[in-house]
């Protein structure tokens, strides 16, 4: 009978599976950095940002398991985290199931899904090549040391160094990096404070529209809008392109985004089904909010 404690037994694998799992851990670290970067810059809806943070923390914990010579829980963690990330990325690029839709594949999305696929592939390769040692470790009697080959400390030293370097780079990159999507800059604290004051003066319908912008519509995941505190640059900067526009024109921009596309952005980048996705009440509230939030001040 399998003793769950065996999953946490320190186990040294042969060199090939160790190297494969180390490569997998590096790919997990790349994905963790991208998710932490997106979380830091308020990309997406509150649910999406929470998932970004959970992914980054869980990835760090999983990498440390490998450094601590726990390959079995590392494999379980890496396959779950990276596999889940792949599924989530595909969902957000093909549907509104998670309350957030990305019509375009940004550089960050491409890097992240590539890293997660590599992490899964290398983890599975490590599992296959090290299955003999892993099976023996699981089958060993309770209390007996797990059978292992002669330990080679070098892979663990390299793994620890790589994880340390990546984490250090992540901290520096997150502190100094700009918002995802390229272009644009995050709203300053002064802009956020001013937005909070303006929000208090908005009517209830406009306040509801702000909630739609940040939630059901997913607008905040693609556009920069100082009033909402979003800084994404997948689509146009709304503070700039909507300034002074009428409610009629803004409504048209939402329900028929292909009618007139902002310079520098490809046609078809924004989904054209918001007229069906949002209820009439939500659409009215969103339009009123955008008029108020981008009015010339």
Question: Tens of pLDDT along 5-27?
Answer: 666 677 778 888 888 888 899 88
CB 107 within 8 A of CB 182: yes
Number of residues that this document lists for the chain: 297
- Counting Cα atoms < 13 Å in the Cβ hemisphere of 14 gives 13
Alpha carbon 227 to chain centroid distance?
Answer: 23
C-alpha span between 162 and 176 (Å, rounded)? 21
Q: Tell me which residue of 296, 274, 297 sits closest to 287, measured CA to CA.
A: 274
CB 267 within 8 A of CB 257: no
Query: Do 141 and 25 belong together in one domain?
Result: yes
Average pLDDT over residues 136-155: 57
Give tens-digit pLDDT for 55-71. 999 998 898 888 888 88
What was the pLDDT predicted at 86? Answer: 92
Per the DSSP assignment, residues forming a β-bridge with 225 are 230
Q: Tell me which residue of 278, 295, 276 sits closest to 213, measured CA to CA.
A: 278
Pairing of strands 230-231, 224-225: antiparallel
Instruction: Say what the pTM is.
Output: 0.56
Q: Which two tokens stand for residue 120?
A: 């899964």
Query: Do 66 and 193 belong together in one domain?
Result: no
From residue 206, alpha-carbon distances to 237, 283, 289, 293 in Å are 19, 11, 4, 9
Radius of gyration of the chain (CA): 24
DSSP for 183-239, written as a single string: S--PPPHHHHHHHHHHHHHS-HHHHHHHHHHHTTT-GGGT-EEGGGTEE--SS--HH
Give tens-digit pLDDT for 84-141. 999 988 888 777 777 666 666 777 778 888 889 999 999 998 888 888 877 777 666 5
Q: Which domain holds residue 214?
A: 189-294
C-alpha span between 159 and 122 (Å, rounded)? 15
Query: Do 69 and 196 belong together in one domain?
Result: no
CB 53 within 8 A of CB 80: no
C-alpha span between 169 and 33 (Å, rounded)? 9
From 176, 197, 212, give the residue that closes a domain. Answer: 176
From residue 32, alpha-carbon distances to 9, 181, 255 in Å are 26, 17, 35
Q: Which two tokens stand for residue 228?
A: 């909402």
What was the pLDDT predicted at 163? Answer: 54
Query: Do 138 and 201 belong together in one domain?
Result: no
From 127, 144, 176, give the residue that closes a domain. Answer: 176
C-alpha span between 226 and 231 (Å, rounded)? 8
What was the pLDDT predicted at 79? Answer: 93
159 falls within a domain: yes
Give tens-digit pLDDT for 185-239. 444 556 556 655 665 666 677 778 888 888 767 788 788 888 887 777 778 889 8
Average pLDDT over residues 267-277: 82
Average pLDDT over residues 249-260: 89
Query: Do 200 and 64 belong together in one domain?
Result: no
DSSP for 102-129, written as a single string: --S--HHHHHHHHHHHHHHHHHHHHHHH
CATH of the domain at 255: 1.10.760.10
pLDDT band at 175 (very low <50, low <70, confident <90, very high): very low
229 falls within a domain: yes
Report the domain count for the chain: 2
Query: Do 140 and 97 belong together in one domain?
Result: yes
What was the pLDDT predicted at 36? Answer: 85
Query: Do 163 and 280 belong together in one domain?
Result: no
84 falls within a domain: yes
183 falls within a domain: no
181 falls within a domain: no
Query: Do 203 and 165 belong together in one domain?
Result: no
160 falls within a domain: yes
Query: Do 170 and 196 belong together in one domain?
Result: no
C-alpha span between 160 and 258 (Å, rounded)? 50
Query: Do 131 and 194 belong together in one domain?
Result: no
Query: Do 246 and 120 belong together in one domain?
Result: no
Q: Is the pLDDT of residue 80 over 90?
A: yes
CB atoms within 10 A of CB 34: 26
164 falls within a domain: yes
28 falls within a domain: yes
From 145, 176, 207, give the residue that closes a domain. Answer: 176
Packed helices 131-139 and 71-92: angle between N→C axes, nearest 10 degrees: 120
Query: Do 135 and 264 belong together in one domain?
Result: no
DSSP, collapsed to helix, strand or coil, labels residue 230 as: strand
């Amino acid at each position: 009978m399998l003793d769950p404690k065996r999953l946490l037994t320190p186990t040294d694998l042969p060199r090939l599976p160790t190297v494969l799992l180390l490569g997998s851990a590096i790919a997990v670290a790349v994905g963790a950095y991208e998710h932490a970067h997106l979380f830091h810059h308020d990309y997406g809806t509150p649910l999406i940002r929470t998932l970004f943070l959970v992914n980054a923390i869980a990835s760090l914990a999983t990498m440390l398991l490998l450094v601590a010579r726990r390959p079995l829980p590392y494999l379980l963690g890496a396959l779950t985290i990276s596999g889940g990330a792949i599924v989530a990325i595909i969902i957000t690029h093909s549907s509104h199931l998670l309350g957030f839709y990305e019509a375009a594949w940004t550089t960050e999305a491409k890097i992240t899904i590539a890293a997660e696929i590599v992490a899964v592939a290398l983890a599975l390769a490590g599992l296959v090549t090290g299955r003999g040692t892993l099976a023996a470790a699981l089958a060993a009697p309770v209390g007996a040391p797990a059978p292992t080959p002669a330990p080679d400390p070098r892979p663990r030293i390299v793994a620890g160094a790589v994880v340390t370097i990546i984490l250090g780079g992540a901290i520096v990159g997150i502190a100094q990096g700009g918002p995802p999507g390229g272009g644009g800059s995050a709203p300053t604290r002064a802009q956020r404070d001013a937005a909070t004051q303006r929000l208090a003066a908005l009517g209830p319908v406009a306040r509801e529209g702000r909630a739609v912008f940040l939630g059901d519509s997913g607008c905040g995941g693609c556009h920069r809008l100082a009033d909402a505190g979003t800084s994404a640059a997948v689509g146009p900067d709304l503070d700039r392109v909507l300034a002074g526009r009428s409610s009629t024109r803004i409504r048209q921009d939402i329900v028929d985004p292909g009618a007139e596309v902002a310079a520098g952005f490809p046609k078809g980048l924004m989904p054209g089904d918001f007229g069906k996705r949002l209820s009439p009440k939500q659409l009215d509230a969103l339009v009123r909010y955008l008029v108020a939030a981008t009015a010339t001040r």
